[in-house]
Amino acid sequence: MSTITQPTPTAARRQQNGLTSQQIRAGIGGVIAVGGLVLMVANQMNVIFLLVGLLLGLLVWKPFHGILVAYSIISVYPVLRIVSISLRPSTGLLSRSLDIIPAGATLQSYNNLFNEEPFLQWVWNSLSITVTVSIIGVAVAATGAYAFSRWRFFGRRPALIFLLTTQMIPAGMLVIPIFVIVAQLGLANQIIGLVLAYISTAVPFSIWILKGYYDTIPPDLEEAAMVDGCNRMEAFWRIILPLSTPALSIVFLFNFLAAWSEFIVAKVILTAQSVMTWPLGLNQLIGTFQTDWGKYAAGSVLVTVPVLLLFMWQSKYLISGLTLGSVKS
């Protein structure tokens, strides 16, 4: 772990000097914060001045925390705004207020969403598509990536470059052909059609990540198992897969996140109300001929919160997942 700040003789001395400059900075920071308060009072209790004052004060006092707090606000505020809009009463949807808890806050929008829209059905459709894609994607990629990692076979390099190339295909390029294929299979407007279309895009990226992870597992492990009488597949099944659980769960998560909010392909393949996924449903709520911003915001909150929690909970895993294969162990 990081030990850049471990006290060495020079650093220790600097820390001693820093104590006084720290106090000076704290003083200046405090003055700025109070200045913000004064300006707020002078400007009809405009809270923005106080907040800006507090932030500038913190920046002077503890610059690192100041920067991180400022950036956290930039990251979070737009999200809080969605929550705020979902709580607005229907008569005040287009309001200029910056309050996070709006005046007259109500859960009416959530109520309307459940009573007027087949919202749960959308979520259910998305969920079943997403889980299916993730399971099949991981299963198919797990063995494929193993082949890329352990064998030097004919066509390996071009195949790996092709996998990267698939990332470069403009989305608009595949929509029409994919629809035509899905329709010719008789799967237009079927959940299965979308599942098949998603799997093809999920597999290349999954292989990339998994191959990177397998590369970090020493081949000696399987060889030892094979000496003990396992065949290659048994060694893969008993040794490699259990060791790769973190990577497999990351791949599952990536595929899940990508499919969960996909919009452009879904829009073309699924048109019937009964098979709509939530991105299509929410998009319908803000379509040209009707605007129920409150219902839209309520739906957004409901589909986003689980993903956010999952993401934060798994964020350590995700980091290691993305850097797999890049960092030598």
Q: What six digits make up the tokens of 244?
A: 């790769």
- Between 195 and 248, CB nearer to other proteins: 195
What is the smallest separation between the CB atom of 167 and other proteins, expressed in angstroms?
5
CB contact at 8 A, 270 and 198: no
- Between 34 and 310, CB nearer to other proteins: 310
C-alpha torsion sign, points 260, 261, 262, 268? positive
Whole-angstrom CA distances from 307 to 98, 187, 235, 247, 314 are: 26, 29, 35, 19, 10
What is the smallest separation between the CB atom of 183 and other proteins, expressed in angstroms?
3
- Between 21 and 165, CB nearer to other proteins: 165
What is the smallest separation between the CB atom of 249 and other proteins, expressed in angstroms?
16
What is the smallest separation between the CB atom of 193 and other proteins, expressed in angstroms?
10
What is the smallest separation between the CB atom of 97 and other proteins, expressed in angstroms?
8
- Long-range CB pairs of 179-188 (<8 Å, 24+ gap) are 179/268, 179/269, 182/269, 188/269, 188/271
Q: Using alpha carbons, select from 93, 117, 119, 120 the residue that is nearest to residue 106.
A: 93
Q: How far apart are the C-alpha atoms of 250 and 202, rounded to whole Å?
A: 13
